[in-house]
Amino acid sequence: MTKRIWCWLIVALAVIVQFLFEVTLSRIFVAPAILIPVLVYLSQSESDYWAIEGAFWSGFALDLLLNQPIGISSLSMLLGISFSNWLLRKLTGAHELTFLVNTVIASIVSDLIFILFASRPIGAGFGGSTFFIIPRILIPVLLYFVFPLFWGKRARV
C-alpha cells in the first residue's frame, strides 16, 4: 500500500480512538486529545497535506460521530494547527524540531476555538470548565515521553 493510504488509516484509527475517548472517558473526567498530535506529527513528517486535508476530514467525521455542529472540529483543528505552524515559523525558524510545542499550541488554540463556536450562544462555554483543556492536552504529551521508555528508547523533543 502507498504511504498516503497508511497515513489515512492512521488518521481513521485516531478518529475512532478519539470518538471512543469522548464517549467514555469524558463522562468520568476528560478525554485526551490524541487527534491533533497525530495530525501535527503527520504534517511534520510527511507533508502539510495532513494539517489541511487530514484536519478537515477527520474533524468532519468526528462531528458526525459526536453529533456536534458540522464543521466546528474541522475549523478548530485547521485554525489551531495553522496558527501553531505560523507562530513557530515566525518565532523560532526551527519548525521540524518543535513537535511538542507545536502540538501543545495547536491543541490549546483548537480547543479554545471549539469552545467559542460550539457553545450556544457563541462564547457562553467559557468558564471554570475551560481549565479541563489542560489535562486533555497534557495526557497525550506525557504519553509521548512514557511510551518510548517501554522499548528502551529515549524520547526526542
| DSSP state string for 106-129 | HHHHHHHHHHHHHSSSTTTT-SGG
Number of domains in the chain: 1
Handedness of CA 5, 114, 31, 19 (dihedral sign): negative
Domain assignment present for residue 54? The answer is yes
Domain assignment present for residue 155? The answer is no
Q: What is the pLDDT of residue 146?
A: 67
Domain assignment present for residue 118? The answer is yes
122 — alpha (psi -120 to 50), left (phi > 0) or beta?
A: beta
Domain assignment present for residue 44? The answer is yes
The boundaries of the domain holding residue 145 are 3-150
Domain assignment present for residue 157? The answer is no
Per cent of the chain over pLDDT 70 is 87
Tell me if 113 sits within 8 A of 80, measured CB to CB. Answer: yes
DSSP state of 47: -
Task: Report pLDDT digits (tens) over 75-106.
Answer: 898 888 888 888 877 776 555 457 777 888 88
- Of how many residues is the chain composed? 157
Locate 11 and state its grid cell: 488518521
Domain assignment present for residue 75? The answer is yes
Tell how many helices (H) and how many strands (E) occur in the chain: 7, 0
Domain assignment present for residue 156? The answer is no
Buried b (16+ CB within 10 A) or exposed e, 26-44: eeeebbbbbbbbbbbbbbb
Q: Over the chain, what is the mean pLDDT?
A: 80
Task: Report pLDDT digits (tens) over 21-64.
Answer: 888 887 777 888 888 888 888 888 887 887 888 889 999 999 99
Task: Report pLDDT digits (tens) over 126-137.
Answer: 777 777 788 888
